[in-house]
Structure formats: C-alpha cells, structure tokens
Amino acid sequence: MRSVLSTVLALSAFSAASAKQIVVTVGGNTTTNTSAVFQPAQITNATIGDTIFFNFTKGNHTATQSTFASPCIPAHDTNVTINGFDSGFRDTVNGTAITNLVVPITDNGTIWFYDANTCAAGGVGGINVNDSSTETLDGFRRNAIRLNGTKSSSSASGSGGSGTRTATSSRTSSTSATSGNTSGNGAERSVVVGLGAAVPMIIAAMLL
Ligand SMILES: *[C@@H]1O[C@H](CO)[C@@H](O)[C@H](O)[C@H]1NC(C)=O
Ligand SMILES: *[C@@H]1O[C@H](CO)[C@@H](O)[C@H](O)[C@H]1NC(C)=O
Ligand SMILES: *[C@@H]1O[C@H](CO)[C@@H](O)[C@H](O)[C@H]1NC(C)=O
Ligand SMILES: *[C@@H]1O[C@H](CO)[C@@H](O)[C@H](O)[C@H]1NC(C)=O
Ligand SMILES: *[C@@H]1O[C@H](CO)[C@@H](O)[C@H](O)[C@H]1NC(C)=O
Ligand SMILES: *[C@@H]1O[C@H](CO)[C@@H](O)[C@H](O)[C@H]1NC(C)=O
Ligand SMILES: *[C@@H]1O[C@H](CO)[C@@H](O)[C@H](O)[C@H]1NC(C)=O
Ligand SMILES: *[C@@H]1O[C@H](CO)[C@@H](O)[C@H](O)[C@H]1NC(C)=O
Ligand SMILES: *[C@@H]1O[C@H](CO)[C@@H](O)[C@H](O)[C@H]1NC(C)=O
Ligand SMILES: *[C@@H]1O[C@H](CO)[C@@H](O)[C@H](O)[C@H]1NC(C)=O
Ligand SMILES: *[C@@H]1O[C@H](CO)[C@@H](O)[C@H](O)[C@H]1NC(C)=O
C-alpha cells in the first residue's frame, strides 16, 4: 500500500497542471446489479498524462485490462503485445481495506477492462471508447455475457466480436431454451454434450 501511495504522490507531483486524476469506484452496488461494479463504467475524457484511480471500496474485485473481442480474459493472454494492467483480487474486507490501482494514460486508444468476479454478468468498463467506432461499451458488455455468461463454455474463445452482430440471436435461440436455469452449469453441460455442442459454436464463430 505504501508503495502505491508514494507512486501516486510522485505522479501527482510530476504531472503537468493539466493532468487529471479520474476516479473509478470499484464495488458499486453489485448485490442487485453487477454491471454497476465500475462507477463510472465509461470514461470519455482521459488524455495522455492523466491517471485513472481504480478505488476498490466494496467486495472483492479486480480491475483487469482486456480486449474488445475477449472481454473476460487478460489482454496479454490474447495479444502478447499488450502489457495490460491487472490489479489482482482486492478484497476490501467489508470496506476496511480500501486500496487503489493507478493506471497512467499513455496513448489515445480505447482501454477495455473487467472485474474477474462479475465479468460474466457484465462487470466491465472502457476508457476513451471511440464514439465513431462500432465497438461500444454496450457491445463489450454483451460480449462478456455471451462469452462468459450462463451458456458459454469451452468453445467461447476464438469468436471475436464487434458489438452489433445479428448472429448472436440465432445462436441464442439454439442454445438458450433453458435460459435462466442452467446458469452455473455450463461446465456440466459441456461435458455431457461434448463436441456436439462445440462444433456448431465453432462454425457459428467462423460465420460471424
Ligand atoms: C443496492 O440497490 C438496491 C436497489 O436499488 C437497494 O435496495 C439496496 O439498498 C442497495 N444496496 C446498497 C448496499 O447500496
Ligand atoms: C445497472 O447499472 C448500470 C450502470 O450503472 C445501469 O445503466 C443500469 O440501468 C442498472 N440496471 C438496473 C437494473 O438497475
Ligand atoms: C470528464 O468527464 C466527466 C464525466 O463524463 C466529467 O464529470 C468531468 O468534469 C470531465 N472532466 C474534464 C476535465 O472535462
Ligand atoms: C476511495 O473511496 C473511499 C471511500 O469511498 C474514499 O474515502 C477515498 O477518498 C477514495 N479515494 C480516492 C482516490 O478517490
Ligand atoms: C476473491 O475472489 C476470488 C475469486 O472468486 C477468490 O479466489 C478469492 O479467495 C477471494 N478473496 C477473498 C479474500 O475472499
Ligand atoms: C495486438 O495489439 C497490437 C497493439 O495494441 C495491435 O496493433 C495488434 O493489431 C493486435 N493484434 C491482434 C491480433 O489483435
Ligand atoms: C463482512 O461482513 C459480513 C456480513 O456482515 C460478515 O459475515 C463478515 O464476517 C465480515 N467480514 C469481515 C472480515 O469483517
Ligand atoms: C491524442 O489526442 C490529442 C487530442 O485529440 C492529440 O492532440 C494528440 O496528438 C493525440 N496523441 C497521439 C499520440 O495520438
Ligand atoms: C471467460 O471465459 C474464458 C474462456 O472460457 C476463460 O478463459 C476466462 O478465464 C473466463 N474469464 C473469467 C473472468 O472467468
Ligand atoms: C475511431 O474510430 C474511427 C472509425 O473506426 C477511426 O477512423 C478513428 O481513427 C478512431 N479514432 C481513434 C482515436 O482511434
Ligand atoms: C432450476 O434448477 C433448480 C436446481 O437445479 C431446480 O430446483 C428448479 O426447480 C429449476 N427451476 C426451473 C424453473 O426449472
């Protein structure tokens, strides 16, 4: 903790007057709404030289950088050229151990991130989401839920994603007849169905 704090102090002393500190509270009200884990979930005006403070205030969460196509996997695991940030699990011990992760902004690109404990339910966010791009925060959240949520399993990786695809609905209709009640049973089901389920999903991914 001490080292994080001194890093913070060093950064703020070093920064030009125009540099901003942007706070993202991690742990919002996740009891009723997991997609509220990052508040705000979208940061629009970070500029080079600013710092993002992920302020872990409740629960046990991570702030982990990922990519648009693979929302719930650390960025480095899907693209080795990205040296993404990852806080690891930060347990706040019921709010008595609040910690920060400090992320300096070094370029103008979009930075996607997630919480490993709620990603599958939409616990994701984005920094400098490009307004003219089809890669929106809503699309990123849908990818997270689709790939890691209730019905995904072994073959989820590999399907990329631009937020607004229509094939999603056809896949959904073929696999979600039991929607709602098999949540958490994805692994069990994939063992039962095995390749039978994986092959159509791989084909679906290739068609996208
Ligand atoms: C979470 O949100 C629900 C619904 O808005 C509210 O009833 C509940 O009190 C909130 N919990 C906390 C800890 O803020
Ligand atoms: C959950 O939180 C998100 C982000 O704050 C908000 O947009 C959404 O309306 C909330 N959903 C519910 C059901 O409260
Ligand atoms: C950045 O955006 C946030 C919310 O969108 C706003 O509250 C804040 O004032 C903005 N800061 C600057 C320096 O524009
Ligand atoms: C983090 O959140 C705590 C609790 O809400 C607050 O006291 C603290 O000032 C916040 N830290 C920053 C850097 O905003
Ligand atoms: C935080 O969550 C992770 C994943 O669910 C878990 O492995 C870890 O034990 C949790 N940490 C604490 C202190 O509960
Ligand atoms: C990996 O990331 C780099 C730098 O961000 C990017 O230029 C490249 O296109 C990415 N590669 C893939 C396969 O997405
Ligand atoms: C956190 O709060 C829960 C519920 O009030 C309690 O059961 C648990 O013992 C608390 N944990 C710590 C480390 O204080
Ligand atoms: C980042 O964006 C700012 C404002 O649009 C621009 O002035 C700057 O040249 C950009 N920097 C890079 C490295 O693209
Ligand atoms: C999301 O699913 C992928 C593929 O199954 C897995 O590698 C990854 O660990 C999952 N992410 C989380 C946060 O559970
Ligand atoms: C935003 O997206 C548009 C359309 O894809 C692209 O032309 C532009 O270069 C992007 N801007 C940044 C800063 O990446
Ligand atoms: C959902 O599954 C649970 C446990 O497997 C079972 O007790 C419950 O009756 C099921 N609900 C429905 C609507 O099928």
Task: Residue 122: name the closest of 187, 60, 37 by CA.
Answer: 37
Asked if residue 189 is part of any domain, the answer here is no
Q: With beta carbons less than 8 A apart as the criterion, state whether 39 and 53 touch.
A: no
Please state the pTM of the whole predicted model. 0.71
* Residue range of the domain that includes 55: 2-150
Asked if residue 41 is part of any domain, the answer here is yes
What tens digit of pLDDT does each residue of 70-112 get?
A: 999 999 999 999 999 999 999 999 989 999 999 999 999 999 9
Q: With beta carbons less than 8 A apart as the criterion, state whether 184 and 150 touch.
A: yes
Q: Ligand 5: which atom is nearest the Cα of residue 116? A: 4
What tens digit of pLDDT does each residue of 54-74 get?
A: 999 999 999 999 999 999 999
Q: Low-confidence residues of the chain, pLDDT below 70?
A: 1-17, 151-208
Asked if residue 37 is part of any domain, the answer here is yes
Closest Cα to atom 6 of ligand 7: 94
Domain containing 86 — which CATH number? Answer: 2.60.40.420
Asked if residue 187 is part of any domain, the answer here is no
Asked if residue 175 is part of any domain, the answer here is no
**Phi, psi dihedral angles at 168 (to 5 degrees):** -55, -40
Asked if residue 92 is part of any domain, the answer here is yes
Asked if residue 171 is part of any domain, the answer here is no
Residues 6+ apart with CB under 8 A from 73: 66, 67, 157
Asked if residue 177 is part of any domain, the answer here is no
Closest Cα to atom 5 of ligand 7: 94
pLDDT of residue 34: 79
Q: Where in the chain does DSSP place strands (E)?
A: 21-26, 38-39, 42-43, 51-56, 60-61, 64-66, 90-91, 99-104, 111-114, 124-127
Number of compact structural domains in the chain: 1
